[in-house]
Every structure is written in C-alpha cells, then in structure tokens.
Amino acid sequence: MFESIITVLFIGFTAGFVFAMPIAGPISILITSNALKGKLRFCVRTAFGASLVEFIFVLVAVYGMTLFFSAYSYIIPYLLIVGSIFLFFVGVKIFASKLELQNIEESGDKINKSLVENKGGLRAGLIINLTNPSLFFGVLTSSFIVLSFASSVGLNTGGLEILVHENVVSIQELTGETFERIDSTFADTPSIIGGEDHSSYSLLLSVIYAASLATGGFLWLYILAILLIKYRTKIKLVYLQWIIRGLSFALFGISFFLLWTSIDMLVVQIS
C-alpha cells in the first residue's frame, strides 16, 4: 500500500508539473501577462484557483463519476459560452492596461501592496478552469496514458489505471465517440482493487493523485510567475507592452474558438 501511495504521489506531481509547462492555455496566458506587470500576488491567487478546479476534475476523471459526467456533458455548450465571454473581457482588460516606467522599475513588493491591482485572481482562476471542459477531457486522457505507462513498466499504481480505463469506456459509451491518443485495445491487468477496497483504498489513491497533480501544476505556474517578474526589467518597455497585448489577442482567439465550439455543439443538440 505504501509503495503505491509513493508511486502515485510521484507520478501525479511530475505529470502536473510537466503538463502545465505549455503557455498556450488561458491560465498560463493570464499569469504571464500579469507577471510581466510585476503582480505576483495576483498570479499566485490565479494559479491557486485554477489548481483547485484541476484537483476536482482530476478526482472526477480518475475515481469515476459517470452520472456526474452525464449531467456535466449537457451543460458543456453553455459553459463554453460563459468561458468565452469571460476570457474576452479579460483580454480586453489586459489589452487596455498600460505599463509605466516606474511600475517596471519599482519592486514587486510595492506593486503587490495594491489591492486594486491584485484582487480577482482567485476568481479568475476558478472561472476559467470551471468553464473549460477541455481540461476535464485533457486530464482524463493524460491520466490514462501516464498511469497505463507507469503500470506497464512495473510501477505499482494501485490499480488506478484500471479505474481510468473503466471511466474512458463509460464516457465513450455515453458520447459514442473515441478519445484521441487512447488505444482501445487496452491490455487487461488483474485488478487488485475489489469489493470494499474500491470505495476506500482507490478513493485514497485518487485523492492523492489528484492533489499531487494539482500541486505540480501550481508549482510550475508559481515558478513561471517568479521568473517572469524577476527578468521583466530586462525587456524594453515598448516590447513588454507589445508582448502583453499579443497575449491579450491570444485570449481573444481562445474566446472566439470556445464560442464557435459552443454554437456548433448547440446546433448538434438541437438537431
């Protein structure tokens, strides 16, 4: 038991840290744009809010709550609409923000004393991830791949890969679609989780995996913010302003993509 806990803890943390590295997602873009302004507290709050939602999504994806997904899948188009609108206004706010020379040169501590400059980070992290259904499918797919690979090389995952596989099959049956990058010919492994253990031991491992993955993602976002704040003074003010505005356009693009996707899903539901 102790071996599987340590294994799941390590796998989850490593996966969360690595998967959070790409800065193409809305959370990374929001943190990057605010870190370039020196707003560490805002970035930490945003990362924490995003990690809370990620923890919930990972726990649901791994432990398996098919009934939850049935209800969740119905409101996905509406979540996408809310998310697209929220991201659009966040992008507008970032685009309209102006950097002043003294704000770049002064210390991050002085900037972070302003509540006006740092409020809303937690709310932003929560809303962006809650209205991002692709996060759920992403953690489900990545968890299946990571846990299956770990089990195939002899690591003791406590049977979590079996739970994830069962969840993948259940959701595929509900949606009638196949997940990309998941091999349908899953090699069956004797389940070590059964009966009473399924409701206790597997839940414990699922919580540990979800918490460690969310912690790994949070740590990377924190390191990213620290590095950007530390070296932002080495970038000329005009370039810094253009970088931030470029990030706002990236949010606009994600916003329009989510809106288009939601409309397409609603049309399919109606027809």
The answer to whether residue 187 scores a pLDDT higher than 60 is: no
| Cα(183)–Cα(162) distance, integer angstroms | 14
Give me 56's structure tokens: 């919930």
Give the pLDDT score at 61: 79
Task: Compute CA distances 172 → 61, 66, 69, 136, 166, whole Å.
Answer: 13, 11, 11, 14, 10
CB count in 10 Å sphere of residue 181: 8
The answer to whether residue 197 scores a pLDDT higher than 90 is: no
Give the lowest-confidence range in 36-40, 48-52, 211-215: 36-40
Give the pLDDT score at 119: 63
- Residues 82-116 have pLDDT tens digits of 888 888 888 888 787 765 544 544 544 454 555 45
- Residues 14-24 have pLDDT tens digits of 989 988 887 66
- Residues 23-44 have pLDDT tens digits of 668 898 899 988 888 889 999 9
pLDDT tier at 271, thresholds 50, 70, 90: low
Answering whether pTM is above 0.85, one says no
The answer to whether residue 250 scores a pLDDT higher than 70 is: yes
Give the pLDDT score at 126: 92
State which of 107-116, 135-144, 223-232 shows the largest mean pLDDT. Answer: 223-232
Residues whose CB falls within 8 Å of the CB of residue 165, separated by 6 or more in sequence, listed in order: 144, 148, 186
Residues whose CB falls within 8 Å of the CB of residue 133, separated by 6 or more in sequence, listed in order: 72, 76, 79, 80
